Amino acid sequence: MQPIALSRFRLFVLAWTTLLLALPALATPADVVAPAPLVGSVGPAGGTTTGPAAPPWAKALQRELERVAAHSTAAFGVQVRDLDTGQSFSFHGDERWYLASSIKVPVAIAVLRGVERGDYTLDTALTLRATDYVDGAGPAKNQPVGAALSVRWLLEQMIVYSDNTASDMLIDLVGLREINALVQSAVPGGFERITHLADVRRQAYSQFTPQALHLSGRDFIALQQQRTEADVKATLARLLRLPPDTLRPVSLNEAYETYYASGLNSARLDAYAELLAQLVEGRLLEPRQTAYLLAVMERVKTGTHRIKAGLPTGARFAHKTGTQRARTCDSGLVTVQRLPKDKRIIVVACTRGELSTARSDRTLRQVGVALCQSGLLSDGKPHEPPCQTVPSRAAPLAAGTAGPAGHAGPSGADAGVDDEP
């Protein structure tokens, strides 16, 4: 190589070396700061994958959930977040799932934001109107028209007993626009549109006839009392003053599945987990209201055979359940007393495709057991504290089989507290 050419070559190499060394300095902070790791995720085929850097608890949890999935009659998704490390685990958690009454947590947050703004207080009384009645669990539907019900009482019935009448009264208080704006601001794109609880029924029954969009809350209570699908359709026709043969020839299962496909009242589980994390960490409410809502969620009486039943003795669970035809959920904050500070875990889980609430409950209970066995709750020591076990067979179907009208069955020990939708 000639001297001039060699000199030019050296200058070329030097220039490129200088440029490459400078590139990291030109990067923005967003380019160089890695996001919180998602240690488990949904693979292309719908299964779960775990990265090589995943902690042992994530790998153990994946194994346990895969084992549960292999024997469960319900499809399910799970999202877990360790609030101490920020690590997350997802088992179909980036898919859209129907939330059922889990939407009542963002409703409660919106209500408490109104308290913080001074729009009303928890002691403000709302008057029960004839149009407010909705079927489902809880005592509000048994109150007379004109009853004065405080915001506090309504909020606690909505969360603790999953009262739909209380829920819709509070939704009217704050407005659907406020509730939907809240979730979109907290988790952009993570939630689909939230509606009144009564509109869930209207949308489902409208698959039989568009006239069902005019059903009243009292109508839904009458429909809930029917024991067979034929009785439901006959009652629907009578309430709407239609000839029975004018109803579309679809089953209740088909009607509800069509409604679910609309995406209303649905969300990704990772989005719901993010909302709960923001709540727990005080990013959505002031400390006083945050503590109040979490305390109410610890008093929940629904879903006693779900995740809570699989957690170790002594674990606290501030949660909210959801139940509707072939759909169940259980989500919240698990707290285990540890030194020097308590272990706090967000867990969100939903099922679909199983009409038996008892079988779906069993699957969610196994999620709680799997969480315990993973070692996440015990600093990497599986079975410490001792984990629960799950009976080899589900409870009798009468304890929670989905009823003909799309609600949880009215018979059995849990009938009085099972939440719908």
Q: Average pLDDT of each block of 10 consecutive residues along the chain (421 residues)? A: 45 44 36 34 38 83 97 98 96 98 99 99 98 93 97 99 98 99 98 97 96 94 93 97 96 97 98 99 98 99 97 96 98 93 97 97 98 89 75 48 49 37 42
**Measured distance CA(228)–CA(205) in Å, rounded:** 15
Q: Report yes or no: 256 and 324 within 8 Å, Cβ to Cβ.
A: yes
State the pLDDT at residue 78: 99
Query: In the structure encoding, which two tokens stand for residue 34, read together?
Result: 């890695």
Which single residue is written with the structure tokens 């069955």?
A: 409
**Measured distance CA(336)–CA(330) in Å, rounded:** 18
**Measured distance CA(94)–CA(269) in Å, rounded:** 6
Q: Report yes or no: 369 and 387 within 8 Å, Cβ to Cβ.
A: yes
Residue 351's closest CA among 259, 260, 264? 260
Q: What are the backbone angles phi and psi of residue 5, rounded to the nearest 5°?
A: -65, -40
CA–chain centroid gap for 207, Å, is 25
**Measured distance CA(114)–CA(56) in Å, rounded:** 43
Burial 251-265 (b: 16+ CB within 10 A, else e): ebeebbbebbeeebb
- Which residues fall within 8 angstroms of residue 206, CB to CB, at 6 or more apart? 212, 213
Residue 308, classed as helix, strand or coil, is: helix
Domain 53-97+270-387 is classified in which CATH homologous superfamily? DD-peptidase/beta-lactamase superfamily (3.40.710.10)
